[in-house]
Amino acid sequence: MSRFASVVTLLLLALWSNGCMHRRVTIRSDPPGALVLVDGEEIGTTPVGFDYTYYGTRNITLIKDGYQTRTFPLELSTPWYQVFPLDFVSDNFAGRKINDWRDATYALEPEVLVPTEQLRDRANSFRSDALRPSIAPGYGTLP
């Protein structure tokens, strides 16, 4: 009877426990107000947060007028209590809510505007390079 009581007690505790994981990342930028895309999906302007389920690397793209558009990898590493088989216990039997909240801050660089004349010179240089015939190595030289 004691074995049966133990099993019933464990089942009741499993049903009654309120273990729960909450995973969230807050993205900030300097200066604030940049549009944020996570893996290509728009989520809002900085500072902005999003919930996630799985650990791994996300691509964070920041877009703001007057600043260079940049994409940064964000590594969301797995904490020790979320490694198999401990994750089952921490997700279901912790007895309290576990928060895994993270912050990521990125500095934006001002956009560099190239003067029109310099841009035109670069285009002409590319054009002349493209029009010049090239010879593959080992096939001789031009006459």
Domain of residue 104, residue span: 20-112
> HSE-up of 18 (CA within 13 Å, CB side)?
2
Residues linked to residue 24 through DSSP beta bridges, in sequence order? 51, 101
CATH of the domain at 97: 2.60.40
Is 118 part of a structural domain of the chain?
A: no
Weakly modelled stretches of the chain, pLDDT under 50: none
Residue 72: predicted pLDDT? 94
Residue 20: predicted pLDDT? 76
Neighbours of 60 (CB within 10 A): 20
Residues linked to residue 127 through DSSP beta bridges, in sequence order? none
Cβ contact 46:75 at 8 Å: no
Is 123 part of a structural domain of the chain?
A: no
Question: Tens digit of pLDDT for each residue in 85-118?
Answer: 766 766 666 666 777 889 999 999 998 888 889 8
Total domains present in the chain: 1
